[in-house]
Copies of this chain bind each other. A is one copy, B any other.
Amino acid sequence: MTNIKDVAKMAGVSVTTVSRVLNNHPYVSEAKRKAVIHAIRMTNYQKNINAVHLIKGKTNLIGVVLPYFDHPYFSLVLKGITNQAIKKNYKIVLFQTDYREEREIEALQMLKQKQIDALIICSRATDLSIIEDHLQFGPIVLCEDIKSRKFSTTFVNHYTVFHKALAFLHEKGHRKIGYCIGRTSGTNSHMRELAYREFHEKYHLPYRPEYIIDQCIYFGDGEKVIEKLTTMMDPPTALLVTSDQVAAGIVISCQKRKISIPDDLAIIGFNNEPIAEMMNITTIEIPLMEMGKNLFLQAIDEEISSKEIIVKLIERGTV
């Protein structure tokens, strides 16, 4: 492989001059510029970008931490991130974690080692304090509503959203409402649970833990939800389902079992994933690509900022 030295020798100039040509710096005579360009052409020379990274202390690489991306929620956020990254000439390094702490640590490690300039954590299992310890090595952006002023964040206020969705169902006459969620840990899940508890207190409804169904992530989990419901003595009449993909699974499972939606069971999905429109599922639209865009911009921004993403209920046929 030819390096800058070879090019300089061939063009009969110093490496400095070659570097100037390479980076469009001024103060190079036209004759030498041409000689350098010619030498670059002849040798098919290309910078070793690692040398540039070393001296600049910057790689134009942004890390993205997420548990899995074969899910519309994360793949749409990721799409928002990458679309923006392309515009700003950054590349994305993917950390698929399955919520395994050691993988999240690996990502933090790469920030510490300067292999990535910043880190976007879409969802995490690791303790916030550990993440905070790595802030000294570069910006870390989070996707949740935390009070720390040390992180930039882009988030949905899931507490308020859940409250509103529950109130909406209450107004429609539902008194037995459950919800399906991906996992019970994590800030967003906690906010939702809090809203759910408070809703039951406010309306003096009995709080039933069995109405909270965990591990609802993929399409096929909808089937499991309905199986669970059919074993209940007193099943809920409405469900909040934190992914439309699961909601769609529920709808299809109900069709098979002749459970009528919304009469026997009302459904509110989340995210307004493409499948929701297709299957006429009432949903809470979260502009995920916009979230991704904002996350990326915060990652490359020096300033620390917080942005709440506003969601809206789209009424369709499942309530």
Contact = CB atoms under 8 A, between A and B. Distances in A.
Interface of A: 46-51, 53-54, 57, 59, 61, 68-70, 72, 75-76, 78-79, 82-83, 86, 91-96, 103, 109-110, 112-115, 137, 218-220, 222-223, 249, 252-253, 274-275, 277-279
Contacts of A46: 109, 112-113, 137
Closest 5 CB pairs of A and B: A49-B113, A70-B75, A50-B53, A50-B54, A82-B96
A159 B79 CA distance: 32
Given A70-B76, A96-B82, A103-B86, A219 B278 contact: yes
Contact of A91 (B51, B94, B112, B249): B94
A96 B91 contact: no
Contact of A59 (B50, B249, B253, B279): B50
Contact of A279 (B76, B82, B252): B252
B219 A274 contact: yes
Interface of A is mostly: helix
Nearest to A77: B70
Nearest to A47: B113
Given A103-B86, A219-B275, A278-B220, A115 B68 contact: no
Given A46-B113, A94-B92, A96-B82, A278 B53 contact: no
Counting chain B CB atoms within 10 Å of each CB, which of A59, A82, A94, A274 scores highest?
A94
Given A50-B59, A51-B54, A274-B219, A94 B114 contact: no
Nearest to A100: B86
A54 B48 contact: yes
B48 A114 contact: yes
Counting chain B CB atoms within 10 Å of each CB, which of A61, A137, A252 scores highest?
A252
A8 to B, nearest CB: 19
Given A68-B79, A75-B75, A274 B50 contact: no
A83 B70 CA distance: 12
B103 A96 contact: no
A134 to B, nearest CB: 10
A105 to B, nearest CB: 13
23 contacts: A46-B112, A47-B113, A49-B110, A50-B57, A50-B115, A53-B54, A61-B93, A69-B78, A69-B79, A79-B96, A82-B96, A83-B96, A91-B110, A92-B93, A92-B94, A93-B94, A218-B274, A219-B274, A219-B275, A220-B277, A220-B278, A222-B278, A253-B278
